[in-house]
Structure 1
Amino acid sequence: MDDLLLAPVDLALLAELQRDMHATNQNMGERLHLSASQVSRRIQRLEAMGLIQAYVALLDPTLLGLNVRAFTYVTLARHGGEEGEAFERAVGGIPEILDCYSISGGADYMLQIVAASLADLSEVVLKPLTRLPGVSNIQSSIALQRIKSSTALPLTQLSRPRTVTRRARLVQRES
């Protein structure tokens, strides 16, 4: 019995939390036909399972002056080894890099970067990355207009009960 069942009400609760994290347990309970204490217990269980990783405020980058968003593809000369580790450490220390993915295809990594200007993008992020040992190619695309941006996972497609394995939860907590 290494699996835990996610009931449809759990998925509905996760959807409510994604929609409005500030909603009270009472309000969520009314929408989900649960008591506030049931909502509280279910949220605690979902947190303990590792399904809820954090509660954050989503800020508007444009209002904060971060007007440039770039998607940057990085290719290393050699795969694995110290170059990859050094690159990943460097990326972890650059706050303008919002996301870094190891990817398949023509590049090794894809980064999502925000900056105040193109000059800042170049000076603060791209120049330091090009100087890292093992980096052989960097190609960036600048976003012209945001059409859709979401942090909400598509839970509606998970309408039937799901299981979450303990192994998946452990991997989730380690990352």
Structure 2
Amino acid sequence: MAAIKLDRHEKGILAALQENARLTMQELGDTVGLSASPCWRRVRSMEDIGVIRRYTVQLDPRKLGLGECVFAHVTLERHKENAVEQFETAIADMPEVLECFAVTGDADYLLRIVVPTTEDYGRFLSERIFSIPAVSHVKSSVTLKEVKFETRLPLDHLE
């Protein structure tokens, strides 16, 4: 899928919103060199076409008692009927799973999971993940430290 074309104002709007989504339209317009009204129209247009998916707040998981981040490589049993649908439906309902990607390689999925402790992860695996009949194997990597965590997308490649 080709990227949509954005002008310098739209790229500026996206960069500013990724930094601080609580900017008023006036503040956002001042940042990118537009008045509030045309700035609002551009933001609304980018919302309508799905470039801007939603607005959110970024929380510190450790300060909220979610001290462990685990990456799990999940392999499904291929001969099980509806294995993919069954797995994806179950994962969608698990708040501990922050991200789930279908991937290439040795596993079928890569999950990013947050839990309070490694003991909680063990319980999560046995009670939640391994309760999904389609799951054949899980290989886990517990993070030692966060080196970089970024939610802002790079925009320099856009025309």
**Fold agreement, TM-score > 0.5:** yes
When the two chains are superposed, the root-mean-square deviation of aligned CA atoms in Å is 1.6
Amino acid at match of 1:148: K
Tell me the alpha carbon deviations over residues 104-128 of structure 1, each in whole angstroms, 9 at most, x when there is no partner: 01100000000001111111x2112
For the structure 1 residues 32 and 74, does the alpha-carbon distance in structure 2 shift closer, same or farther, using more than 3 Å as the test? Answer: same
Runs of 4+ in 1 over 6 A off after TM superposition: none
Q: Which residue of 2 aligns with 1:132?
A: 132
Trace 1:85-124 onto structure 2 (pairs within 5 A): 85-123=85-123
For the structure 1 residues 79 and 18, does the alpha-carbon distance in structure 2 shift closer, same or farther, using more than 3 Å as the test? Answer: farther
Whether the 8 Å contact between 2:76 and 2:136 is mirrored in structure 1 is yes
Mind listing any 5+ residue stretches in structure 1 that lack a counterpart? 161-175
Structure scoring higher RCO (CA < 8 A, sep ≥ 6) equals: 1
Aligned mates of 2:131, 2:145 — CA distance in 1: 30
Q: Which residue of 2 aligns with 1:170?
A: none
Q: Which residue of 1 aligns with 2:7?
A: 7
Whether the 8 Å contact between 2:102 and 2:110 is mirrored in structure 1 is yes
Shift of 1:79: 6.8
Equivalenced residue count is: 156
For the structure 1 residues 129 and 15, does the alpha-carbon distance in structure 2 shift closer, same or farther, using more than 3 Å as the test? Answer: same
Mind listing any 5+ residue stretches in structure 2 that lack a counterpart? none
Amino acid at match of 2:136: S
Tell me the alpha carbon deviations over residues 103-153 of structure 1, each in whole angstroms, 9 at most, x when there is no partner: 001100000000001111111x21121232232210000111001101110
